[in-house]
Structure 1
């Protein structure tokens, strides 16, 4: 069933992990968060119930650590998040503004400069931002897409210079913006131009690309974190809505595309839930917790909301 063009009911036969779920990996924007960037009471309760039942919850996002205040009050235990599309694992337990980097998978200066040169040649008119552990730096022509003041404004080559004032801060990702190309077209051209020198993805509705080190993605960093805990992919349930979630959804034993998801995400996931504004993640998590508790209902669910 659809409402306003979005799926509003779960699939008849939703997937289940091959083994009982031990970890939930969820994207934030367009997935766990509503469009107004809030967390519903139902979602907060479902995540808390999962942690109480012994299922770890990992927030896996393209956001930088400094934007994690939206969930830092709801970490319920481990307090870890994978940020920057896998470039950093962050401990959120200190609260907003007090995060700690646990793991960093940086994009090297040399690779960054190679990417900038390749995209300037292949797609004239591209502007860049450099996301470092201490903040964002961007070119004058790069649009301020978020209320996030730049630490400095200069050409990308200068921002990446070895003698930069912030050269000691690792580069987590580059952002590349084009004012005219369609988002998916820009992604295709950029991947062809860059090849295997870096990982390129997107999560914005605009022509904004996110570029990480080669082999760095939500999936690869999640796999590292799970291996450290003795958790296999068949014990992971993942949720996402945009192309930067595709690898994670493919890697996880069970995965859900949101009702508002990009077509590539729907194709990659093993199942589908309702849209982010309709508590799509919470509906599935409530069922996972009920299964773990032997069929007992989770507070907050009703027969017409959870299968």
Structure 2
């Protein structure tokens, strides 16, 4: 694995930077440092597009909206939604989780891990079961069993499901992930980004990588022209797909194994460190 301090690990002419947010671009206090803001702006001034690629739902993107410079595109909910941050988070694409598949996942995970509780992310907001930890960002969310949250009066008439969340109060995070993938991985894509036993469940085949690949293809950008950053298992597919990828200094072991390089931690502005070095290499300074 190469280091961000090794100029030979940096692509000579990248066209797109894809970065996760929590634990990657954001510091632990959820701030974006002045150094990172300047690096993102410098990248776009140099003609390199910047995509925010996150597990967050579209409604939670206000944290970076003030730091958007050029196109303002964000891939949210682990690839299930593409939004335009310049247009107030307008949904441009949705890759939903089928409601019947979501119900099948709920049943399979409940059987495999008694005590699991669920939340449902729709394009209109998030709701959750009574045992699920409440969302402080959405105090008016509906609280009901998953079967009721996923029910439609008329099939196909309800808002799309962009993600199902599963929480377990006792299991270890990676253990819960393995168990859920074993029992329901044939029904949906299952990953995690939280330090707790909280799983994120999308439509089968939907990931940060799948949607990023589609967005890049629309722009004539190849994977070799992409530099990606991440820190948790939900970033693994993206880091594997990108021609150049960096695990943060605080990254999960699976992420370190998947990435082609490593940078310093999010609290040390690891994304900015690499962007600055990319731009210096383009300018012939290193």
TM-score for both structures, normalised by structure 1:
0.89
Residue 29 (structure 1) aligned to one of 4, 22, 27: 22
What residue is the counterpart of 2:236 in the other structure? 246
- Is contact 2:4-2:10 (8 Å) kept? no
Q: Matched residue of 2:9: which SS?
A: coil
State whether structure 2 residue 62 is matched by structure 1 residue 69: yes
State whether structure 2 residue 45 is matched by structure 1 residue 52: yes
RMSD of aligned C-alpha atoms? 1.8
Q: CA deviation at 1:11?
A: 5.0
What residue is the counterpart of 1:271 in the other structure? 261
Deviates more, 1:68-77 or 1:264-273: 68-77
What residue is the counterpart of 1:295 in the other structure? 284
- Deviations 1:139-182 (CA, angstroms, capped at 9, x unpaired): 00001254332521100001111228x95210000000000000
Q: CA deviation at 1:244?
A: 0.3
2-side partners of 1:177 and 1:25: how far apart? 28
- Deviations 1:213-248 (CA, angstroms, capped at 9, x unpaired): 000000000000000000000000000000000000
1-side partners of 2:127 and 2:60: how far apart? 16
2-side partners of 1:266 and 1:140: how far apart? 36
- Is contact 2:7-2:277 (8 Å) kept? no
What residue is the counterpart of 1:256 in the other structure? 246
2-side partners of 1:251 and 1:150: how far apart? 38
Matches within 5 A, 1:102-251: 102-144=92-134, 146-163=136-153, 168-251=158-241
- Is contact 1:23-1:236 (8 Å) kept? yes
Instruction: Identify unmatched segments of 5+ residues in structure 2.
Output: none
Dislocated runs of 4+, deviation >3 Å: 9-14
- Deviations 1:20-73 (CA, angstroms, capped at 9, x unpaired): 100000000000000000000000000000000000000000001111111111
Deviates more, 1:155-164 or 1:100-109: 155-164
Q: CA deviation at 1:197?
A: 1.2
Q: Matched residue of 2:86: which SS?
A: coil
What residue is the counterpart of 2:13 in the other structure? 20
Q: Matched residue of 1:93: which SS?
A: helix
State whether structure 2 residue 99 is matched by structure 1 residue 100: no
1-side partners of 2:214 and 2:220: how far apart? 10
| Cα separation, partners in 2 of 1:230 and 1:252, compared to 1, 3 Å | same
TM-score for both structures, normalised by structure 2:
0.95
2-side partners of 1:210 and 1:14: how far apart? 36
State whether structure 2 residue 80 is matched by structure 1 residue 87: yes
1-side partners of 2:203 and 2:6: how far apart? 39
- Is contact 1:258-1:273 (8 Å) kept? yes
